[in-house]
Amino acid sequence: MPTQIEEERRLRIKVSVWAYAYEIMNDPIATDQQFDEECAKVNIFLNTGRHDDWFRSNFDPWTGMWVRNHPDLAGLHRIYLMHKVKFRRIYGADQYVVCESFLPPNTTSIIVYNMHRKNGKRCVKSSRRVIL
């Protein structure tokens, strides 16, 4: 069972990614009502050990504009892509690439993942960057 701190971290990550998708990528992945309900649950006074001071100073539950100054925009982009990007299998091999229709504009390279199964789960065995 997650602790209160772990739940708060997950909640902050979720609303940050939702705000990033809406404000930066212009691609909402949650309704305004969902966003407002989740933001109302955020406890900025709980110390999570990650970006606490920033959240206290910048977070506003009524808007997502605060995400533009987030200290880890690259991390939010990575999580956004993991949520939005669809993977397809190449010719039955254990290689997966991002479908081109889901790539952000001006993408210059993608990563091809070589997968294998470990304890019944897919795991990345290796990866390589491919220049487009």
Looking at the structure, do residues 44 and 76 belong to the same domain, yes or no?
Answer: yes
Looking at the structure, do residues 11 and 68 belong to the same domain, yes or no?
Answer: yes
Question: pLDDT band at residue 113, thresholds of 50, 70 and 90?
Answer: low
Q: How far apart are CA 63 and CA 101, in angstroms?
A: 29
Closest CA relative to residue 24, chosen from 87, 60, 75, 98? 75
Q: How far apart are CA 120 and CA 127, in angstroms?
A: 20
Question: pLDDT band at residue 30, thresholds of 50, 70 and 90?
Answer: confident
Tokens of 114: 């070589």
Looking at the structure, do residues 77 and 92 belong to the same domain, yes or no?
Answer: no
Looking at the structure, do residues 17 and 46 belong to the same domain, yes or no?
Answer: yes
Looking at the structure, do residues 99 and 69 belong to the same domain, yes or no?
Answer: no
Place of tokens 């809406």: 22
How many structural domains are present in the chain? 2
pLDDT tens per residue across span 41-98: 999 999 999 899 999 999 999 999 999 999 999 888 888 877 765 444 444 444 455 5
- Would you call 130 helix, strand, or coil by DSSP? strand
Looking at the structure, do residues 15 and 73 belong to the same domain, yes or no?
Answer: yes
Q: How far apart are CA 10 and CA 6, in angstroms?
A: 6
Tokens of 70: 């987030």
Looking at the structure, do residues 96 and 72 belong to the same domain, yes or no?
Answer: no
Phi, psi of 93 (to 5 degrees): -80, 170
Helix (H) or strand (E) run with residue 5 in it: helix 4-23
Q: What is the mean pLDDT of the chain?
A: 78
Written as one letter, the residue type at 92 is G
Q: Which domain holds residue 48?
A: 4-83
Portion of the chain with pLDDT greater than 90, in percent: 44
Looking at the structure, do residues 41 and 11 belong to the same domain, yes or no?
Answer: yes
Q: Which residues pair with 116 in a beta bridge?
A: 123
Looking at the structure, do residues 76 and 91 belong to the same domain, yes or no?
Answer: no
Tokens of 1: 């069972």
Looking at the structure, do residues 89 and 65 belong to the same domain, yes or no?
Answer: no
pTM here? 0.66
Looking at the structure, do residues 91 and 108 belong to the same domain, yes or no?
Answer: yes
Looking at the structure, do residues 51 and 105 belong to the same domain, yes or no?
Answer: no
